């Protein structure tokens, strides 16, 4: 990983990308959730406005209905009072009046609330005279003031209804849906007229709030709708069983005081999260009650969860693509930097080699001529002087001649690094080349206790290279491998076709190369051997590069090393290196 990416910069970039995507996903999720809740709120407010108007109209209709029925009942009560004042009481015509006017019943009550029984009319001439004048037995009394009382389920402010002072403890209106009571002038008591309950109930059912609320509650997304009076008693509900129950909620009480709508999220038992919209119902400036609509948040939450999954998947995809893109960018940049460093190192090496070539040319000029003179002088001494008294003379000359040859070889190595190589490319077979090398070092390998193995596929193509120079490279690598295994081991000569061309490799099982020395193994004069100039691998690299290839090394301490020579298969590159 460190080879391709700078871990610190790459990790910091990934963290920044993750933070940016996380902030985007969180803000988008919150925005989406807010939009969905606003949609639910707008729906609830719109429904509340429509239903509030409908409820107010229905309430006004009910009030008008009761007012009209009340006036009709009052007219019937006054008619009965007048009839009682003008003629003797007759239960038959009282029933006839009730049937004609669709009255539930008519009660005549005395001041104690007991059924009133009129006294029998006077007999004889006095009675006839009273009837002719339209007088009743009670007409001589002072006319009492007419008392008026109405009962029923009316949407009116408290205090409008007042029980009859003398009859407030007599609940004569119980069991009746609607009715009126008036103080009678024809007798000391009251006349109570009860309306037909079925008629009123049917009318209320047709135009009432309950029906509208039940129909509204069938729409999807609506949990419940309730209409409450000033005392928070349920007057209408989507569940008819809740009608008449009292709500215990201080927030609803405050709405009647502030007269401002309320929107909130609540969690009723067994209903999940719902969005509750509460609005006051006003008749003019008078509060009639509150309207409460509960909207289910389940559809919105399901949409939010689905969109949240999409946002998360999109965010993860963006992170993955971003990480991949950053990886490609970091890898490309690192590759370019690595190539740049390699080019800079190559330029430095070539400059050093150029300086070395200049020095080698001057050194060769200064050393080869004296060496030739010394060699010629030694030859003359060997041929012209043979002292009889010096038995060590010949061995001394041989030793000097060897040192001259060694110095000459050093000079030649200097020159091989500095001057262009005279390549003679030809088509070669990989198996033949490696077979020759294995046979050439077989004796030295057996002496060192090293087993030499070949791994060459049979279908490798021929390639173009300079036989002698390539054998020099491979032989140098093989000898280095043998020297790395003083206690024996296995030396493997491999060949394979790769994407870059043809790869020839020499692998040993020796001590390996220390990691700190691995980058410098091809530098001139770098060596870990007690005897050596450190020019062998530098010359091998020069030969391989002149063939248009490259040489690489892999090594692990105590496990061995592997040198790979990668050559192009095209002859044009080798031919071009001859120029």
- pLDDT at site 284: 65
Q: Is 475 left (phi over 0), alpha (psi -120 to 50) or beta?
A: alpha
pLDDT at 278 over 70: yes
Share of the chain above pLDDT 90, in %: 7
Q: What is the 3-state secondary structure (H, E, C) of 347-399?
A: HHHHHHHHHHHHHHHHHHHHHHHHHHHHHHHHHHHHHHCCCCCCCCHHHHHHH
Distance separating the N- and C-terminal Cα atoms of the chain: 41
pLDDT tens-digit readout, 214-232: 777 777 878 888 888 777 8
- pLDDT at site 99: 83
3-state secondary structure of 167: helix
Give start and end residues of each alpha helix (H) in 87-113: 91-100
Half-sphere exposure of 432 (CA within 13 A, CB side): 7
Q: Which residue has the tokens 């054998």?
A: 471
- pLDDT at site 505: 94
Among the ranges given (122-126, 273-277, 319-323, 381-385), the one the predictor scored with the smallest mean pLDDT: 122-126
| pLDDT category of residue 503 using cuts at 50, 70 and 90 | very high
- pLDDT at site 563: 93
Cβ contact 304:37 at 8 Å: no
- pLDDT at site 496: 92
Which pTM was predicted? 0.42
Average pLDDT score over residue span 513-531: 77
CA distance 403 to 374: 11
CA-nearest of 212, 211, 215, 194 to 202 is 211
307-314 contacts: CB < 8 A, separation 24 or more?
307/29, 307/32, 308/29, 308/32, 311/25, 311/28, 311/29, 311/32, 312/25
CA distance 396 to 200: 149
C-alpha distances out from residue 217 to 165, 214, 327, 544, Å: 44, 5, 57, 89
């Amino acid at each position: 990983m460190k080879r391709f990416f700078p871990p610190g910069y790459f990790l910091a970039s990934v963290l920044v990308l993750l933070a940016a995507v996380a902030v985007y996903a969180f803000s988008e999720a919150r925005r989406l959730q807010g939009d969905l809740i606003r949609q639910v709120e707008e729906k609830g407010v719109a429904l509340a406005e429509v239903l509030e108007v409908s409820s107010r109209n229905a309430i006004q209709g009910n009030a008008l209905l009761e007012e009209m029925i009340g006036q009709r009942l009052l007219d019937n009560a006054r008619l009965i009072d007048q009839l009682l004042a003008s003629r003797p009481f007759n239960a038959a015509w009282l029933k006839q009046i009730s049937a004609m006017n669709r009255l539930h019943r008519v009660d005549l009550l005395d001041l104690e609330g007991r059924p009133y029984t009129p006294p029998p009319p006077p007999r004889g001439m006095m009675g006839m005279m009273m009837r002719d004048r339209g007088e009743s037995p009670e007409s001589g009394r002072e006319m009492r003031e007419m008392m008026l009382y109405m009962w029923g389920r009316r949407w009116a402010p408290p205090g409008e209804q007042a029980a009859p002072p003398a009859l407030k403890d007599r609940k004569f209106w119980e069991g009746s849906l609607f009715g009126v009571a008036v103080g009678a002038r024809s007798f000391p008591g009251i006349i109570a007229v009860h309306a037909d309950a079925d008629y009123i109930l049917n009318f209320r059912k047709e135009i009432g709030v309950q029906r509208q609320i039940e129909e509204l509650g069938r729409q999807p997304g609506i949990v419940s709708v309730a209409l409450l009076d000033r005392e928070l008693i349920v007057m209408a509900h989507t569940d008819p069983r809740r009608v008449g129950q009292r709500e215990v909620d201080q927030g609803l009480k405050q709405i009647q005081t502030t007269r401002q709508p309320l929107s909130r999220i609540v969690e009723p038992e067994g209903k999940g999260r719902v969005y509750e919209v509460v609005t006051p119902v006003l008749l003019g400036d008078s509060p009639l009650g509150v309207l409460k609509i509960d909207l289910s948040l389940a559809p919105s939450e399901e949409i939010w969860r689905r969109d949240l999954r999409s946002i998360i998947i999109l965010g993860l995809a963006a992170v993955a693509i971003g990480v991949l893109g950053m990886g490609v960018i970091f890898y490309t940049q690192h590759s370019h930097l690595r190539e740049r460093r390699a080019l800079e190192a190559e330029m430095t090496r070539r400059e050093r080699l150029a300086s070395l070539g200049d020095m080698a040319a001057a050194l060769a000029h200064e050393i080869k001529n004296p060496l030739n003179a010394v060699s010629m002088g030694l030859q003359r001494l060997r041929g012209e002087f043979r002292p009889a008294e010096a038995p060590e003379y010949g061995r001394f000359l041989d030793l000097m001649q060897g040192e001259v040859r060694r110095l000459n070889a050093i000079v030649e190595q200097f020159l091989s690094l500095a001057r262009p190589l005279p390549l003679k490319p030809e088509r070669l077979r990989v198996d033949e080349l490696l077979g020759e090398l294995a046979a050439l070092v077989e004796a030295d390998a057996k002496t060192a206790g090293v087993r030499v193995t070949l791994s060459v596929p049979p279908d490798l193509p021929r390639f173009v290279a300079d036989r002698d120079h390539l054998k020099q490279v491979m032989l140098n690598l093989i000898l280095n491998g043998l020297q790395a295994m003083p206690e024996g081991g296995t030396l493997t000569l491999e060949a394979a076709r790769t994407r870059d061309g043809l790869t020839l490799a020499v692998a040993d099982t020796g001590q390996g190369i220390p990691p700190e020395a691995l980058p410098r193994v091809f530098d001139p004069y770098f060596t870990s051997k007690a005897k050596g100039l450190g020019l062998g691998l530098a010359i091998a690299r020069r030969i391989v590069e002149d063939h248009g290839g490259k040489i690489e090394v892999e090594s692990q301490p105590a496990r061995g090393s592997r040198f790979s020579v990668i050559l192009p298969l095209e002859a044009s590159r080798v031919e071009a290196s001859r120029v």
